[in-house]
């Protein structure tokens, strides 16, 4: 797996470039393509995702493959919380169901750290799953990228 030498936008982040980086991450994760998503991370990227620790792109691909095999009809919204230099803090919520048809909304926060190349070197994620009824779902766009006119987290009251 190879990546471009630079993945814009790169640090130091302004509010505008941090928002752009967050949206690019959201779009990537909504693709549910583990190999493509992994290219946003450095070869030796380190993650803490819930209680799981992942290091390196190939491990990220494996992690995301397992995730999207069990989190079906996954749709995600991310929102910038804060930024400073080469770090971005994000809050997010995503909706999904398991293979029994039980729906969940997963809420969380992520802290990201980037190298000068714009690749994410560190990702710390805290996530909580809340069971919801299918009728309580708020994300109804077709699978893939969230439409530009779809409300974000703040607009949805999340």
Q: Establish if 126 belongs to a structural domain.
A: yes
Alpha-carbon distance 128 to 148, whole Å?
A: 26
Give residue 38's domain range: 15-136
Mean pLDDT, residues 23-47 taken together: 98
CATH of the domain at 67: 3.10.450.50
Q: Establish if 125 belongs to a structural domain.
A: yes
Q: Establish if 85 belongs to a structural domain.
A: yes
The DSSP secondary structure of 76-141, one letter per residue, reads EEEEEEEEETTEEEEEEEEEEE-TT--EEEEEEEEEEEE-TTS-EEEEEEEEEEEEE-GGG----S
- Provide the pLDDT for residue 4: 56
Q: Establish if 4 belongs to a structural domain.
A: no
Model confidence at 5, pLDDT cuts 50, 70, 90, reads confident
- Provide the pLDDT for residue 105: 98
Q: Establish if 77 belongs to a structural domain.
A: yes
Q: Establish if 7 belongs to a structural domain.
A: no
As a whole-number percent, the residues of the chain with pLDDT over 70 amount to 97
- Provide the pLDDT for residue 1: 46
pLDDT in tens, 48-78: 999 999 999 999 999 999 999 999 999 999 9
Domain count, the chain: 1
């Amino acid at each position: 797996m190879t990546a471009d030498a630079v993945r814009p936008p790169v640090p130091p982040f302004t509010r505008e470039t941090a928002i752009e980086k967050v949206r690019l991450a959201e779009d990537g994760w909504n693709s549910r393509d583990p190999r493509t998503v992994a290219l946003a991370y450095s070869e030796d990227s380190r993650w803490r995702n819930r209680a799981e620790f992942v290091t390196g792109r190939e491990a990220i691909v494996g992690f995301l493959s397992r995730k999207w095999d069990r989190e079906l009809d996954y749709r995600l919204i991310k929102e910038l919380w804060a930024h400073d230099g080469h770090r971005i803090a994000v809050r997010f919520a995503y909706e999904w169901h398991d293979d029994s048809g039980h729906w969940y909304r997963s809420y969380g926060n992520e802290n990201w750290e980037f190298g000068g190349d714009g690749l994410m070197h560190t990702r710390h994620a805290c996530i909580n799953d809340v069971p919801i009824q299918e009728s309580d779902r708020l994300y109804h766009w077709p699978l893939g990228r969230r439409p530009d006119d779809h409300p974000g987290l703040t607009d949805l009251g999340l």
